Amino acid sequence: MSPPLQERWKHWQHGLVQSLLLYHGREDHALVRVLLLASIGTVGMPLYYVIWQNFFPQEYESLPLRLLGILLCALGLFARQFSRRMLHLYLLVTLSYIFPFFFTFMFLMNHGSGVWSESLLIGLVVLFHFDTSLAAKAYLIGTSAACLAAAVLGEGAAMLSRPVLQQLPIHLFTIAALSAAKISRHVLAQEKLAGLGAGLATVAHELRTPLTSVDANVRGLLRMYTDTGNRSKEERLSAVDALARIQFEVRHMNHMIDLFLLSATAVRQNLRPVEEVKMEGVVEAVLKRYPFSNATQQKLVTLEIRRDFSFAGQTELSVVILLNLLRNALKAVQRAGKGRVRIVVDGAHQPPRLLFIDTGCGIPAQQMPLIFRRFYSHPPHNGAGIGLALCEEIMLAWNASIHCVSREGAYAIFILEFPQQQPIQR
C-alpha cells in the first residue's frame, strides 16, 4: 500500500475511533461507580455518625456497624487493582452490607423514623443503579439479614408497625421504576450498537470492491514483470517484490474487513451459545485463514494439542476471538523484533482452556487493567480497540472467561477458560 493511501487509511481509522470515543467514553462504568461509592462511603459514614450522634440525635446509632462500613468502603478505593471476579465479589458484599443491611437495620431500630425512611429510599436508588441482578441479590441478602438482626435484638414488632409497613409499597415501586428505566436504556444501547454494526458492515462492503480490483491488477502486473525480458534481472526482482508487498497489504486489508464484518455481525446478533464447537478444528481453521505475510511469519506460530475439547458457543464468533488474538500476538512479536507464538489446546485442564502465548514485547503493568476496555488500544493508533473488548463480551455470553498474564518485554499469555460442556438450550 502506498504511503499516502496508508496514511489516509490510518487517519480514517483514527477518526472512527475518536468519534466512537465521544459517544461511548473509555471509562469502565462499573469501576467508576465502585470508586465513587468507596469515596462517598469513606467520607459519609463517619460524617453522618457525627451528625446523627451530636447535632440531630437519633433513637439508635451503632459505631461498630459504622466502622465496618468505613472499612468496606476504604477497600473499594483500591478497586483498580482488583480482578474482574474480585470486583464482582467486593460489590456484592459491600452493596449487601451498606444499602440493604445497614440502612434497613437502622430504619428498623429507629422504628421507621423520617430520617431513616428517606435514607433507606435514597440507598435503594443508589443500589439499583448498579447491575440489576447484582442489586437484586444484594437487596435480598441485606434486607433479610437486617430483619433477622432486628428480630434477634427484640425489634420484631417494629417490622410490623405502620411506619415501617407503609414504606414497603414505596420501596417496591422505586425498585420497579428503576429496573424499567434500566431496561429502556439497555434497549437503546443495543439499538445504537446495532447501528454501529450496520455502519461497519457498510464501510467494509464499500472497501471490498476497490480492493478486489487492485488485487486483480497486481496479479496482472506480477505476470507481466515475471515474463518480460526487456528489463534487467534486478529491476524485475525489485518490481516483483514491491508488487508482492502491495498484494499482501491488500489481502491484509481484506482480512481486517473480515474481522469488521464478523464484529458487526456479533454486535447485531444474540451472542448466546447455539452449537457445539470443537476447539482444535476452530484453531486449525483460523491458522489456514490468517493472511501471514510470508512463510517465515507462518513458522513463528506453533500449535500444541494436549487434548481437544468441545464447548458451547458459535463457530463464527470463535473465529472472531482467535483471529483477534493471533493478530495481536504477531503484532507483539513484530514490535519486539523477536519471539514466537504458541497456541495450546488444553482439554485435560480443569476447566478446559486455550492458551495464546507470545514471547514478544509483552504488556506494561499499568496497561493491563485497560486492555479489555472498548476502544482502548496500546500503543495508540494500534487498531480500533474493538477486538479484545468484543472477545471478552462473547466469552462472558458463553459463561466462559478470558484474562491475560504478561511481563513487559518478555511475554503475554491470554488464557481462555470454558465451562464443562452442557446441553445447548435452543
Nearest to 362 by CA among 338, 388, 385: 338
Q: What is the pLDDT of residue 267?
A: 56
Domain ranges of the chain: 24-165, 270-426
Residue range 394-407, pLDDT digits in tens: 898 899 999 999 99
Q: What is the pLDDT of residue 390?
A: 82
Q: Answer whether residue 342 shows pLDDT above 60.
A: yes
User: Which of 28 and 166 is assigned the larger pLDDT?
Assistant: 166
Query: In this structure, what C-alpha cell is assigned to residue 158?
Result: 417494629
Instruction: Name, in order, each residue with C-beta under 8 angstroms of 214's C-beta and a sequence gap of 6 or more.
Output: 246, 250
Q: What is the pLDDT of residue 423?
A: 46
Is the distance from CB of 121 to CB of 171 less than 8 angstroms?
A: yes
Mean pLDDT along residues 240-245:
68
Query: In this structure, what C-alpha cell is assigned to residue 78?
Result: 483500591
Q: What is the pLDDT of residue 161?
A: 87
Q: How confident is the model at residue 239 (pLDDT cuts 50, 70, 90)?
A: low
**To which CATH superfamily is domain 270-426 assigned?**
Histidine kinase-like ATPase, C-terminal domain (3.30.565.10)
| SS (HEC) of 179-198 | HHHHHHHHHHHHHHHHHHHH
Helix, strand, coil percent content, the chain, rounded in steps of 5 = 70, 10, 25
Q: Answer whether residue 156 shows pLDDT above 60.
A: yes
Q: What is the pLDDT of residue 88?
A: 86
Residue reference for cell 514478544: 360
Residue 253: φ, ψ to 5° = -65, -40
Q: How confident is the model at residue 18 (pLDDT cuts 50, 70, 90)?
A: very low
Integer CA distances (angstroms), 143 to 99, 159, 167, 262, in order = 9, 12, 14, 45
Read off the amino acid at residue 318: S
User: Which of 26 and 209 is assigned the larger pLDDT?
Assistant: 209
Cα–Cα distance between 66 and 50 in angstroms, integer? 11
Q: At what angle do helices 315-336 and 387-397 cross, to 10 degrees?
A: 140
Q: How confident is the model at residue 81 (pLDDT cuts 50, 70, 90)?
A: confident
Q: What is the pLDDT of residue 95?
A: 93
